[in-house]
Amino acid sequence: MGFNKTLSRILTIAGFYTALTACSANQPTVEPDLPEKEYFRLAQEALDNNLPTTAAEQLKELETRYPFGEYSVPARLDLIYAQFEAGNFAAAHATADRFIKNYPDNHAIDYAYYMRGLSTYKGAETFLARYLDLNPAERDTTEFDKAFSEFADFLRRYPNSEFAPDAKTRMVYLRNMIAEHEVSIAHYYFKRKAPMSALRRGQEVVQSYPSTPAVEEALAVTIQAYMDLGLYDEAKQNLSVLANSFPNSEYLTKDKKFIPFKLPREADPDTLYWVSLGLIE
């Protein structure tokens, strides 16, 4: 009886491996349909004809069929560009990231770092344009922060790259936009009667983005928030900073009194309801 059980178990295992082998034998193998050079030529032709999706398909075929071929490295670089031009920014970012990890000493590595940041930047820009009707507090700038960090990493490594000037320009834009976003959220919090939250946003801009155009309005945000909170000494201090830094600010009257957000710019400061502050009359 024991011998029969053992024999049955052996036959079962043997049958399993026979079936597994048969399945493996039936799986299609990837055979080169075209020479490697032809895949690369077709991809270049597609790029020249402004067909980036077609180019990306040819380059991925080349990568799959000739992973260690003569054209594998330039094909991966071109794939980053093709995916980016096709609007597939997530794929372009992933391809650039793989290239950075696999070819850290390649002569075009600076391009891969640059395209990684640019892909994040364009992807975030596209997303934001799609949801412009959201409340400011609901818009997410995480990807813009990520793009800024990736451009900064690129510039730290390759400050003399031919792509460095463009990266610097985009970083300035990103800083300005993130600062403006913080100010817009502050105004949203004023409407929600949450001056403390508005204050934090204004302070973030003043402290973290002092060179951006939004810092003038951010200072006005902090003054307004301090006044709403009844912290008049702090409001006066920030008013002094605003008046010294931006003497012609639209948030100041000619005699350097603060014009609150709650009143129109042409309102007579004598009519304002914070009459005892000395900030406005």
**Are residue 197 and residue 149 in the same domain, yes or no?**
no
Rounded Cα gap, residues 252 and 220, in angstroms: 9
**Are residue 139 and residue 197 in the same domain, yes or no?**
no
Q: What's the CATH code of the domain at 215?
A: 1.25.40
Would the pLDDT of 89 be above 70? yes
In a domain, 10, yes or no: no
Per the listing, tokens 């075929």 go with 61
**Structural domains of the chain, count:** 2
Q: Say what the pLDDT of residue 97 is.
A: 97
- Supply the mean pLDDT for the chain: 84
Q: Say what the pLDDT of residue 32 is.
A: 55
More confident position, 176 or 273: 176
Regarding pTM above 0.85, the answer is no
Q: What's the CATH code of the domain at 68?
A: 1.25.40.10
Tokens of residue 182, six digits: 């913080």
**Are residue 205 and residue 151 in the same domain, yes or no?**
no
In a domain, 61, yes or no: yes
User: Which one, of 129, 92, 91, lies nearest residue 114 by Cα?
Assistant: 92
Rounded Cα gap, residues 235 and 240, in angstroms: 9
**Are residue 111 and residue 227 in the same domain, yes or no?**
no
Task: Give the number of residues written for the chain.
Answer: 281
- 96 within 8 A of 147, measured Cβ to Cβ: no
In a domain, 145, yes or no: yes
In a domain, 232, yes or no: yes
In a domain, 2, yes or no: no
In a domain, 17, yes or no: no
Instruction: Residue 128: give the domain boundaries.
Output: 35-162
**Are residue 40 and residue 152 in the same domain, yes or no?**
yes
What is the signed CA dihedral for 199, 205, 208, 213, rounded to 10 degrees?
-160
Written as one letter, the residue type at 182 is E
**Are residue 45 and residue 154 in the same domain, yes or no?**
yes
Distances (CA, A) of 271 to 185, 248, 254, 259, 280: 28, 22, 16, 11, 9
In a domain, 213, yes or no: yes
Q: Say what the pLDDT of residue 276 is.
A: 34
Q: What pLDDT, in 10s, does the model give residues 114-171?
A: 999 999 999 987 766 665 555 544 567 888 899 999 999 999 999 999 999 999 999 9
**Are residue 215 and residue 111 in the same domain, yes or no?**
no
Per the listing, tokens 């390649």 go with 106
User: Which one, of 226, 228, 229, 230, lies nearest residue 239 by Cα?
Assistant: 226
More confident position, 161 or 263: 161
**Are residue 262 and residue 152 in the same domain, yes or no?**
no
Per the listing, tokens 């201090």 go with 237
* pLDDT band for position 21 (cuts 50, 70, 90): very low
More confident position, 25 or 255: 255
Q: Say what the pLDDT of residue 126 is.
A: 77
In a domain, 171, yes or no: no
Q: What pLDDT, in 10s, does the model give residues 104-125?
A: 999 999 999 999 999 999 998 7
Poorest-pLDDT segment among 154-158, 245-249, 257-261? 257-261
